[in-house]
Structures are given as structure tokens and as C-alpha cells.
Chain A
Amino acid sequence: MTARLLQNFKGGRALLVTGCCGWEGTLETTLAKLGVSSEYPEIVNGRAQIDVDGLRPERDILLVDGDLEDAVAIEVDPASRLPPVPVIGLVGVEAPSRLKALVNLGATSFLRKPVHGGAVYTSLFMGINQFLLRSDMYARLQDLEMRRRGRRAVIRAVILLMQRNGLDEESAYSQLRRESMRVRQNLELYCEEFLSRWAKPPDIPGHTNQHHAARRP
């Protein structure tokens, strides 16, 4: 699988969380050349006033000044460690504590202060695409995790078919796989549904106690 890279940032909105230091002009004009508008959320009592629910990952980018202490309160997904939108760290003081704070916010790229116009496209390209790649990777991990959990259902379904229909292991597995492909479901999900269908109260003529025993090992 090959991820598609975002290369045109037109229509994007950058939220610049920073105190006014004089270098934002370069950042803002360079972002404008790239088709990205800039907004400066107000900072009240040290906190940037950001409508977190209104953030949209396909549009918004958060640029956070690492020299501000705890200025951004966004929820980073504990499992994926991804913020709701791409975060780019603005690095002034190059100290581990400042960088760690930005990493903990989920920053996927950095820009040194004062911002140099020639570095902005690279930082945006890396920050947004790393965010997309990590989001994609996390989705794939979740899928794999779900399928790993589903392997137990596959084993149980194979055993059930072997006991019920007198098949050997390979034939039972092939039958399940074929049926899952026919109904366009992944094997794990199909087996779970197969087992739950089989676990329903026996109203099918010919169902035996032996079958019940088999489906509740």
C-alpha cells in the first residue's frame, strides 16, 4: 500500500499559537503564498482559546510556540498519540523540556524561530504528511489488532465445522474462507458471526446435544 502525499495546501487554515515576537510576518506571508490563511487564537491566562470541537484535520494546522508554557489544551489520543489536527512545533529555546512538550502535543515537524521563509513548505509538507501517515498506520494497526483478537473465533469455527460436518482441519478452514469471501467479509468477522448464528437457541431440526457441546467448548 502506498500512502498519498498532500502537496497542495490551498484552503488550509493555520492557527498560530504564539506571543507576538515580530517574526510571525514571515511565517504568515509564506503561508499565504502556499494558499494557507493564518489566524492567531487569543491567549487568555496563558491558554490559547481554540475551539477544539471545530478543528478539522483536512483543513487545520496548529503551529505552537514551544516557548509558551502549556498554552494549548488539546486531547492527544492516548493510543495513537495523535492530536486532532497536525501540529507543527515552533522551536525557540532548544531544550529537552520544550521539545518534549511539543512531542507530547503530537508535533510531527518543527520550524526554528525566527522563521525562515524557505523552511516553511518543507515543515508543512512533513508535518501534515507525517500526521496522515501516522493516522493511516494507526488505522491499519487497529485493523490488525481487531483481526488478531478474531483469530480465536476462527479456531473455534474450524473446530465446530470439523465436529459438525466431519471435515478435516484444512477443509473446514477452506470452507470458512470461501464463505467469508463470498459474503465479502474478513475471515475473523465471518467466523464470529458464524459462531453467533450457531449459538442461537436450537430451532433447527436435527440439532443434537453434541453440537451444543461443540459450540461451547
Chain B
Amino acid sequence: MAGTHCRVGVMFSATGSYSVVARSMLNGALLAFREIAESGGAVTLEPVVVNPSGDLARYRALSLELLGAGIRHVVGCYTSSSRKEVIPCFEKFDGLLWYPSHYEGFESSDNVIYTGAAPNQHVLPLVEYLASRVGTRAFCVGSNYIWAWENNRIFREALSAHGGNVIAERYLSIGDTEFDQVISAILDQRPDFVFNNLIGTSTYAFFRAFRAACRARGLDQANDIPVASCTLSEPELAEIGADAVDGHLTSSVYFSSLGSPANAAFIAAYAKAFPDGPVSSADAEASYIAVKLLAAALEQAGTDDARTVRSAVANRRLLAPQGEVRIDPQTYHAWLTPRIGRSAANGQFDVLLEAPGPIAPDPYLVQSSPRFASAMRSPVLRVVQS
């Protein structure tokens, strides 16, 4: 493929309820395209950017449009529902989706390369941290779709194994910002912490409203009932606003505050390329990684054929902003470095803990979950009228 040109789809919802993170992902991908072009390598990539605006039907239609136009590789999707919506299109056309976001696992399509964190790289380290340092009584909130359902299920089972319990789970539609009832329930129950799987505008509204409700009751929210997430990132801290930005726990494989030279270079290049923001995030870094790996695999493969490129990316290593990353040849997920951070008033995360190096992805939790699911308990009934 020396000297040849390859068109690559770039599909993020630059508008819609979760557009802040999606735009940072778009920026991360575009930065990688720019660097590849500047490096003058054998492969030249042409990004073809589309915007599904958070509409599932548009994701499918745009995927078919890109694949139908002969494009074999698309970097895109943030939500799991959008990924699941488009996978059949990639299978039909034998294309490759480069999926650059953390997700709930239990999937490994032959037509997807996963550069975001698998559940053993985000939710399990978070449970470990919370159970040992914060408490064992959790109240779960989430957006009403597969990410929150499944991530809460994994969280519940892992927390139970640590002797903890989930006292309630509440789900709201994506984009919903009415939290009065949920917050009132949380304050009544007084959990040790809240586990948050809300996304987009819902999550920003929740953080603001919860902080305000705690203040009104004289509670120091960040210390008394901290909120822990696997999704919260720097551009979202800016959306939450100064009043409620600090003290939130997040499990992630990347924080823009990491002190490595590779990250300093990435942050500087990103800021220069996108001065109007949104700032970089873990998912932006995963998008950057996806494009870099795609370019390297295309160069090695000498063709854009999905099977050949997929074989070429297996075991491929990259010195990414988070540290070394490589693609696992069995699952086509990435080896990544789990970290726990706490948000600070400056809109950054202080890194509290980090793994000594990248850990293997375990999307089906084969190495890290009990053999049997925890038994579903019958609802506890109480007499309300005698």
C-alpha cells in the first residue's frame, strides 16, 4: 500500500446530548490524522467525518453510507447502543469499526477493534478502591441503556464479593435532567457513595443538583456521599461548572494530568490544534490511539482489507499518552493502565492510584468474575397495613 491513499470514516455525534465527549473524541482522532499526514509516512489517510447527532438510526444509515462508498475502516461511536446498532453493518460489508471508548464488555466482534477500556480495566479497579477506602453501601444511578445496566450488574457482583451491597438502582432516559426524586432517595438512604453511570447532559445536571441538595442539608457532598464514575472526564468537568466540579472519583486509563513526556506532547499538540475545546479526555486519547494503530496496521498490511489489517494490528504496540498500549491478539481489545483519579477545582484529575503497567483486557471477565452469577434475591416485603 506504499504511497497509496485510504479514506477512513470518522463517526462521532458532534451534536446531541453527549456531544461534549464525542467532540473531544473527534478532536483526538483528527489530531492523529494530522500527525500522520505531517510525518509523511507511506500511507496517507483521508478522514471522512460524519455526525449521527446521537440518533441511533443515523448511526446505522451513516455506517451503511460509508461502507457502501467503499470505506473499510471507521473510527467512531461513544455509546454502546450505537456500537451495537452498527456492528451488523460492519459484518455485512466486512469492514472494521475502531471503537475508542470504555464499555461494559461481553462482546468481541471480529469486525471491531476495541481501544477503550474493558470492564476489568475500569469498573473492577474502582470497586476495589471504593470497598477498601470509601465504603460498601452503594446507590447506583445511570442512563437507561446497556452501558449502565451491564456496568451496574458487574459493579453489584464485584461489590457483593467485597461484602458490600447496592441499596438501590435508578435509571433515567439519556438526556433526562430531572433528578429531584432520585436525589431525595439518595439523601434518605445515605449510602457510602453513589455509583454514577449517567452520560452526557444528564450527568452534568446530576452533579450540579446533587451538590446543591447536599449543601442545602449541610452535607459536604464530596466527603459525605462521594460520587464515583467510570465515565467522567475532563471536558465534562468543565460542563459541570465550578460550583460542583471537585471531589468526584473516576476510574480511567487516562487523565490529561499524567506527567509523562508522551502525554505532555499530546496535550500541547491537542491544545494547539483545538484551542476552542473541548479539552482532551480518556476517550479522545483512545480515538487518537485507534487512528495511530490503524495507520500502522494499514502500512504493514499493504491493503485496507479488514481481515489483513486486523491480523496486522494484533500484538501491535504504541507508546500512547497514557503509556504503552498494545492490542491483544485473542480479543482485539487493548492492554491499558487502570488509574483512579479525583477531580480538583482546576478541572483536572489528581491521580490517586495507578497500576504499575498495562493490564490484559478481559472483556468477558473470564479471569476476574465468579463462576456463578450472584443469585437474584426475591424482593423483601414488609407489612404496610395490618
**Interface membership of A196, Cβ < 8 A:** no
Q: Which of B107, B364, B372, B378 contacts A4 (CB 8 A)?
A: B372
Is B364 in contact with A33, judged by CB distance below 8 angstroms?
A: yes
Interface size of A in residues (CB-CB distance below 8 Å): 20
Determine how close the nearest CB of chain B comes to the CB of A178; give it in whole angstroms. 28
- Chain B residues near A114: list those with CB within 8 A: none
Q: Which of B367, B372, B377 contacts A7 (CB 8 A)?
A: B372
Q: Which of A4, A29, A30 contacts B375 (CB 8 A)?
A: A4
Q: Which of A33-56 contact B (CB under 8 A)?
A: 33-35
Determine how close the nearest CB of chain B comes to the CB of A119; give it in whole angstroms. 11
CA gap between A8 and B364 in the complex, in Å: 8
Is B364 in contact with A34, judged by CB distance below 8 angstroms?
A: yes
Q: Which of B364, B372, B376 contacts A6 (CB 8 A)?
A: B372
Is B373 in contact with A4, judged by CB distance below 8 angstroms?
A: yes
Q: Which of B241-279 contact A (CB under 8 A)?
A: none
- Chain A residues near B110: list those with CB within 8 A: 26, 117
Is B373 in contact with A10, judged by CB distance below 8 angstroms?
A: no
Q: Which of A9, A26, A33, A116 contacts B331 (CB 8 A)?
A: A33
- Chain B residues near A9: list those with CB within 8 A: 366
Is A33 in contact with B108, judged by CB distance below 8 angstroms?
A: yes
- Chain B residues near A3: list those with CB within 8 A: 375
**Interface membership of A206, Cβ < 8 A:** no
Is B373 in contact with A121, judged by CB distance below 8 angstroms?
A: no
CA gap between A5 and B372 in the complex, in Å: 6
- Chain A residues near B331: list those with CB within 8 A: 33
Is B367 in contact with A10, judged by CB distance below 8 angstroms?
A: yes
**Interface membership of A2, Cβ < 8 A:** yes
- Chain B residues near A10: list those with CB within 8 A: 366-367, 371
- Chain B residues near A118: list those with CB within 8 A: 87, 91, 107, 109
Is A6 in contact with B330, judged by CB distance below 8 angstroms?
A: no
Closest to A117 in B: B110
CA gap between A116 and B372 in the complex, in Å: 25
Is A7 in contact with B366, judged by CB distance below 8 angstroms?
A: no
- Chain A residues near B369: list those with CB within 8 A: 7-8
Is A33 in contact with B371, judged by CB distance below 8 angstroms?
A: no
**Interface membership of B370, Cβ < 8 A:** yes
CA gap between A36 and B330 in the complex, in Å: 13
Q: Which of A7, A30, A32, A35 contacts B373 (CB 8 A)?
A: A7
Is A8 in contact with B109, judged by CB distance below 8 angstroms?
A: no
Determine how close the nearest CB of chain A comes to the CB of B122; give it in whole angstroms. 19
- Chain B residues near A116: list those with CB within 8 A: 91
Answer whether A5 and B108 are a contact pair too, CB < 8 Å, given A34-B366, A35-B364. no
Over the window 121-150 of chain A, the binary record of Cβ atoms lying under 8 Å from chain B Cβ atoms (1 yes, 0 no) is: 100000000000000000000000000000
Over the window 326-370 of chain B, the binary record of Cβ atoms lying under 8 Å from chain A Cβ atoms (1 yes, 0 no) is: 000011000000000000000000000000000000011111011
Q: Could you name 21 residue pairs across A and B whose Cβ atoms are closer than 8 Å? A: A4-B374, A6-B371, A6-B372, A6-B373, A7-B369, A8-B366, A8-B371, A9-B366, A10-B367, A26-B110, A30-B108, A33-B108, A33-B330, A33-B363, A33-B364, A33-B366, A35-B367, A118-B87, A118-B107, A118-B109, A121-B106
Closest 6 pairs (CB-CB, A-B): A35-B366, A4-B372, A5-B373, A7-B373, A10-B366, A8-B371
Residues of A in contact with B (beta carbons under 8 Å apart): 2-10, 26, 29-30, 32-35, 116-118, 121
